[in-house]
């Protein structure tokens, strides 16, 4: 059961990454009414460059335990990028139910600013350090110019428009509606309302994707506390009603087409629950990512996501609320991974803590994480009592 959670997010955090993490862990444990001595498990994820600018931290999870003063019985490392947070929660529940651990903390985040300052993106960290490989075929595509993941999602957006007539205005609706939701979220970095025109007149980054369709990488952590017993927690006793993961390791040119994500597969088993889902938290690295998931989790048929974005009110006041806190498009993307942002918002909504953007009567939330180089991983979860 999820007993507590917390986050710390800043555009640029001046101190050490360990320090920022330590503060976040304590806040999450406080909510769970637990102390560090109660924690016997850690699951974490990591992106090169996001821990005080370090390329790799050998025995990363061991280092976290050392610094936090925790002697774990259970350690795990999940490396699915933005799909990691949900996979970590699922694995923590498994470890606890099998008796491998009593209380597990999940750690997602780091400092994006050292990577951002080098003007590289998450998927091109290999260009700012020696000796990072992202695929077995680096020599064969790193000779081309790219700005992954922005260019990859731009290729997807153009192809989606070509096949289905999706318009720039339709994608822009996603930015506009999420910003409306963000206006009620004190955690959000961007809270001023915007219009479709604002999105379309923002700077072109990689055609057709514009600045207001892309996340801003920030410094920050999300920490979740998972334990066996909820008797001391103020939170609702939530359980995982559905979990699915799927991994499509192919290079995108080798996929049958690039307009689908592995969410098609990871969310398949959640279909019977969709009717009872009160809000959706869909991975939002880019507007097109949200659009793809609207289709892939089954809110719209493949190709109809653009029309959905245009016609359906998916604000927190609407019929199908999506990314009720504004998503990472407005909160920022801690260490190039948004999984913590969407999971935290799901927990906020389920516990009625949504302040200015609370959806009424939230009992079930569907969360979908996408991650990995070129969207290789997807995890889908339905949370409820």
Q: Which is nearer to other proteins, 59 or 137 (CB)?
A: 137
Q: With CB under 8 A as the contact rule, which of the stretches 4-12, 135-143, 175-183, 282-290 interacts with other proteins?
A: 135-143
The burial of 203, by beta-carbon neighbours within 10 Å (0-12 exposed, 13-18 middle, 19 or more buried), is given as exposed
For residues 211-250, which are near other proteins according to CB under 8 A?
250
Is 100 a binding residue for other proteins by CB under 8 A? The answer is no
Among 20, 44, 155, 290, interactor with other proteins by CB under 8 A: 155
Peptide bond into 375 cis (omega under 30): no
Q: Which stretch binds other proteins (CB under 8 A): 5-13, 124-132, 134-142, 294-302?
A: 134-142
Residue with tokens 């780091």: 110
Interface with other proteins (CB under 8 A), residue from 141, 229, 353, 360: 141
| C-alpha radius of gyration, the chain, whole number | 19
Q: Which is nearer to other proteins, 63 or 135 (CB)?
A: 135
Nearest distance from C-beta of residue 174 to other proteins, angstroms: 18
Nearer of residues 41 and 306 to other proteins, judged by Cβ: 306
Q: Least distance (Å) from other proteins to the CB of residue 377?
A: 19
| Interface pick for other proteins out of 11, 36, 159, 268 (rule CB under 8 A) | 159
Minimum distance, C-beta of residue 114 to other proteins, in the bound complex (Å): 22
Neighbours of 25 (CB within 10 A): 24
Contacting residue, 38, 52, 146, 169, with other proteins by CB under 8 A: 146
Give a three-class secondary structure readout of the chain.
CEEEEEEEEECCCCCCHHHHHHHHHHHHHHHHCCCHHHCCEEEECCCCCCECCECCCCCHHHHHHHHHCCCCCEEEECCCHHHHHHHHHHHHHHHHHCCCCCEEEEEEEEECHHHHHCCCCHHHHHHCCCCCCCCCCHHHHCCCCCCCCHHHHHHHHHHHHHHHCCCHHHHHHHHHHHHHHHCCCCCCCCCCCCCHHHHHCCCEEECCEEHHHECCEEEEEEEEEEECCCCCCCCCCCEEEEEEEEECCCCHHHCCCCCCCCHHHHCHHHHHHHHHCCEEEECCCEHHHHHHHHHHCCCCCCCCHHHHHHHCCCCCCCCCCECCCCHHHHHCEECCCCHHHHHHHHHHHHCCCCHHHCCCCCCEEEEEEEECCCCCEEEEEEEEC
Token representation of residue 67: 């610094």
* 192 scored as a contact of other proteins (CB under 8 A): no
In the bound complex, what is the minimum distance in angstroms from residue 187's beta carbon to other proteins?
A: 31
Q: Binder to other proteins among 139, 192, 275, 319 (CB under 8 A)? A: 139
Please report how close the Cβ of residue 154 comes to other proteins at its closest, in angstroms: 4
Q: Does 156 bind other proteins (CB under 8 A)?
A: yes
Separation CA 72–CA 181 (nearest Å):
39
Tell me, by CB under 8 A, how many residues bind other proteins: 29
**Min dist. Cβ of residue 163 to other proteins (A):** 9
Selected range binding other proteins among 140-148, 240-248, 297-305, 352-360, rule: CB under 8 A: 140-148
To other proteins, the closest distance from the beta carbon of 160 in angstroms equals 9
253 contacts other proteins (rule: CB under 8 A): yes
Interface segment toward other proteins; rule CB under 8 A; list 25-33, 139-147, 214-222, 293-301:
139-147
Q: Which stretch binds other proteins (CB under 8 A): 157-165, 228-236, 302-310, 324-332?
A: 157-165
**Residue 317 sits in the site that holds other proteins (CB under 8 A):** no
Nearer to other proteins, 59 or 140 (CB): 140
- Residue 66 backbone phi and psi in degrees, to 5: -60, -50
Q: Which stretch binds other proteins (CB under 8 A): 166-174, 202-210, 212-220, 236-244?
A: 202-210
Q: Residue 40 and residue 6: Cα distance in Å, rounded?
A: 18
Query: Contacting other proteins (CB under 8 A), which of 53, 252, 298, 303?
Result: 252
CB closer to other proteins out of 87 and 150: 150
Q: Which residues lie near other proteins (CB under 8 A)?
A: 136-137, 139-141, 143-147, 150-151, 154-156, 158-159, 162, 205-209, 250-254, 258
């Amino acid at each position: 059961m999820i007993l507590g959670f917390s986050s710390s997010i800043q555009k640029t955090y001046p101190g050490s990454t360990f320090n920022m993490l330590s503060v976040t862990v304590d806040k999450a444990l406080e909510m769970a009414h637990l102390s560090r001595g109660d924690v016997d498990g850690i699951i974490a994820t990591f992106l090169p460059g996001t821990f005080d600018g370090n390329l790799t931290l050998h025995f990363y999870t061991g280092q976290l335990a050392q610094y936090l003063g925790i002697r774990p019985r259970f350690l795990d490392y999940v490396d699915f990028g933005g799909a990691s947070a949900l996979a970590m929660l699922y694995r923590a529940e498994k470890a606890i139910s099998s008796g491998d651990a009593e209380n597990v903390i999940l750690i997602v985040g780091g400092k994006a600013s050292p990577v951002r300052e080098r003007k590289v993106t998450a998927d091109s960290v290999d260009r700012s350090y020696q000796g990072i490989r992202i695929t077995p075929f680096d020599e064969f595509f790193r000779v081309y110019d790219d700005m992954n993941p922005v260019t990859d999602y731009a290729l997807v957006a153009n192809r989606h428009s070509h096949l289905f007539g999706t318009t720039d205005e339709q994608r822009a609706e996603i930015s506009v509606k999420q910003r409306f939701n963000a206006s009620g979220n004190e955690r959000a970095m961007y809270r001023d309302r915007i219009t479709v025109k604002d999105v379309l007149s923002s700077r072109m980054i990689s055609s057709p994707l514009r600045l207001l369709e892309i996340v801003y990488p920030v410094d920050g952590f999300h920490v979740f506390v998972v334990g066996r017993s909820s008797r001391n927690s103020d939170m609702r006793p939530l359980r995982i009603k559905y979990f699915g993961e799927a991994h499509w390791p192919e290079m995108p040119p080798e996929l049958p087409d690039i307009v689908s994500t592995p969410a098609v597969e990871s969310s398949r088993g959640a279909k019977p629950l969709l009717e009872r889902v009160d809000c959706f938290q869909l991975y939002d690295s880019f507007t097109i990512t949200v659009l793809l998931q609207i289709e892939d989790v089954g809110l719209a048929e493949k190709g109809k996501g653009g029309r959905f974005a245009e016609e359906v009110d998916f604000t927190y006041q609407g019929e199908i609320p999506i990314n009720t806190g504004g998503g990472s498009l407005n909160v920022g993307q801690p260490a190039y991974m948004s999984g913590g942002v969407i999971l935290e918002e799901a927990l906020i909504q389920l516990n009625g803590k949504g302040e200015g953007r609370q959806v009424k009567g939230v009992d079930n939330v569907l969360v979908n994480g996408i991650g990995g180089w070129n969207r290789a991983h997807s995890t889908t979860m339905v949370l409820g009592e």
